[in-house]
Structure formats: structure tokens, C-alpha cells
Amino acid sequence: MKPEVLFAPVLQLSPERWWQLAAIALALLIGAVAHRWAVRWVERRLSDDAAPRSWRRALLRAAERLTFPLVALAAALLTRVGLVLAHLPTDWLALLTPLLLSLAGIRLAVYLLRFALRPGPALRVWEQLLSLGAWTFVALYLLGWISPLWHALESVKLIPGQNPITLFTVVKAGVSLGAMLLVTWWLGAALERRIMSVGGVSASVRVGIAKVVKFLLITLGVLLGLNAVGIDLTAFAVFGGALGVGLGLGLQRIASNLVSGFILLFDRSIRPGDVISLANRFGWVQELRARYIVVRDRDGVETLIPNENLITSEVVNWSYSDRRIRLKTPVLISYRDDPELALSLLEQAGREHPRVLDDPPPAARLLAFEDNGMRVELRAWIDDPEEGVNNIRSELNLAIWRAFKAHGITIPVPQRDLRIVPESDA
């Protein structure tokens, strides 16, 4: 096709229409430039704000998202006034006004919905997709293209029959399910934050109630979305039974982890903030999820441990019923040293450490007489295992070494004497 034929509808526009197109392009360009400037300005203002969800950050980010549609709207209104004064038509500019207003409203609404979701790299992408989808629907409605588009989608039959499934049915089901899931997810997150802020209830019970409420709301959202499309929910009775058998056979481990998760939540054997040891892993419980728990160690590494492992394996909970734990620091001293002085220095090192409890007080014991020296041990209690255990062991060892060095107590090194027998004696 020749270019002059392809662009004939555009080339045949009247000069009045060209003036409107130029005004629209100018308004959108001004909005884009203002948005670019707003992004840089907000980034500079938020460079010293470490809180991920502060009110200041929320207001600035909302203003950043509204800059383009509102500035473009202001520019469009000004250019529209100019065209009116020049006695030129402004019908296209009049249509641009509700489009920009709807874009501003949709961007603000979707931005507010993001506070119900977990922060992450995919959150901004989902926000943009939701904004684009909602604005596209509004734009098609304002342009009067919704009805022709629906008829075109209805004409595409994916599964023919007495009750055919058309492309419009699939799109309607997707939109309905997405909308209901979004609303129920937002409501569930809001209720979860409310439940987690309730005092007088243990953390594990709060987490369990929040997860159950969120699961029920999402299930309700799916059922309402399917019902809105016109799908008979009674048909899911047989399907649900078959699905249950399939889940029982093929997803045994997942089901086991889910059930184990609810057991952990309601029997309160492991709670957020507990210090646990499992299979050479030591760390703090950060989160209790439906399928796993998140344990963070001293290196900042987060390990996801399936709930089933916590039910079937031996777990050491350092803070289950009492946060106090006793640390043992063994030391070997020479037979030439005074054991009573060594025991006194051990107890003094324990008393001087700020994390060691005064009640019960630190105690030192002479445990055994071994080949290379006498084994003594410092026993001290702490009540903050979440602050680390190996670090206080290291600090106590350093304090003991300094005290022994200052008082002349030696730590023996294993020695072996080698006696060579002459051949004549052999």
C-alpha cells in the first residue's frame, strides 16, 4: 500500500483539527516534562527517608503519580481557552479532559491499593498494569467503543455448544475474578494489620487468626467472582471432590506443610521472635507463613524451613518458656597454677560482663584432672539469646584470657616426649 493511501485519513484533516492535535500534543508533552522533573525532585526529597511506608513518602509518591495527568490537564484547559478565543473547534480537547481526570483518579486509587500488598520489585509492575487496564476500559467507554468491542468478543466462540464459551466470557471472568481478588486481598491485608496490632494476645495466635481470615476472604472472592460471571457454583461439588482426591495424592507434601503450619500457629510452640536451632542452623524466627517459616541468622541470611520439618524433627527453642539460658565456657589450666585463683578469676570475668545476669550469679567449677591440666568451667546465665550466643562466648573467652595473663595463670599446650630406644637395647 502506498504511503499516501495509508495516511490519507490523516492528510485529509482540516486545519482546525490539526490545531487541536497540536494542542493535545503540547499538553501531553508539558505533562511528560513535568512528570520527569517531579520524579527527580521526589527522589532528592526521599534520599534521607529510610522508612519504606511513612506518610511523607506516601504523599510525595502520590504527588509524583498525579503530576502527569494534572499538569497535562491544566495545559489542555489553557490551550482549549486559546482555541475558543480563536473561534476554533475544541471537541477533541473536551474529550481529553475526562480521560486525564480518570487517569489521575485511577493512578491514585491503585497507588492506595498497593499498601495492602507486600513490598517487592513486582509491586510497581502490578500497579502500572492495573492502572493501564482500568484506564483503557474508561477510555473505551468514553470513546463509545465498549459496545462494538463486546460484540466482537462475543462473536469469537472458543467452545461451541448450547452454552458456548466465548472470548468475552473469558475476559469477563478474568476481570471479575481479578477485581474480587483485589478487593478481598486488600480487605484481608487491612484486617491482618488490625489483628496483628491487638494487644493481650500472643503473636502466634494473632498470626494464625490473620492467616485464616485472609484465606477465607480470598476463597470468598473467588466464589463471588465466578458467581458474577454466571458460573453455577453447584457444579463445583463434584469438581471439588475430584480436586480433593488429586490434592491428596499429588500434593501430599504441600498439604502436610499447610497443616503443620496451622499446628505451629495454634499450639504456639514456635513464635515470631523465638531463637531456635534446627539441623546446625541457629537464628531468629522472622515470619510464620502458611508453608514455611523464615529464620534469620547472625550473617543476615534468611532460611526458609518447611513447616513439616519443624513438626517431625527435633527443634531447640532457646526462648520457649524462659528466655534465660546458661552458657558454659570450659578452660584448661596448668597443674602448676592455683585452681582456686583460676575459679575466682572466672567468676569475676562473668560478673563484669553486662549481659550476664546477677541472679543466678555466674559460677565456676573444677571439673576434672586431665592428662595436660585441670579443666575448669565458667557457667553464666543470660536472658537475651536473640542478641547472639557466640558473640558473648567470644567476649567471655577474651576476658578470661586477659585475667589469666594478668595473674600468671597458664593454659597448657599438649606435649609429648619421644624416646628413641637404641638398637642394642631393642
Domain boundaries, the chain: 3-144, 173-261, 271-317, 325-406
pLDDT at position 53 over 70: no
The CATH fold of domain 325-406? Alpha-Beta Plaits (3.30.70)
pLDDT tens, position by position, 148-178? 777 777 777 766 666 666 777 777 777 777 7
Q: What is the pLDDT of residue 199?
A: 62
Task: Judge whether residue 3 has pLDDT over 50.
Answer: no
- Residue length of the chain: 426
Q: Cβ neighbours of residue 349 under 8 Å, at least 6 residues apart? A: 378, 396, 399, 400, 403
Packing angle, helices 203-229 and 167-196, rounded to 10: 160
Q: List pLDDT tens digits, range 314-349.
A: 888 877 777 788 889 999 999 999 999 999 999 999
Q: Indicate if the pLDDT at residue 403 is higher than 70.
A: yes
Topology classification of domain 271-317: SH3 type barrels. (2.30.30)
pLDDT of residue 245: 64
Q: What is the mean pLDDT of residues 136-141?
A: 77
Are 270 and 262 in contact, with CB atoms under 8 Å apart? Answer: no
Whether this model's pTM surpasses 0.75: no
Query: 176 or 276, which is more confident?
Result: 276
Across residues 190-218, what is the average pLDDT?
A: 71
The per-residue DSSP string of 147-211 comes to: HHHHHHHHT-EEE-SSS-EEHHHHHHHHHHHHHHHHHHHHHHHHHHHHHHT-SSS-HHHHHHHHH
Query: Comparing C-alpha atoms, which of 235, 137, 226 is closest to residue 173?
Result: 226
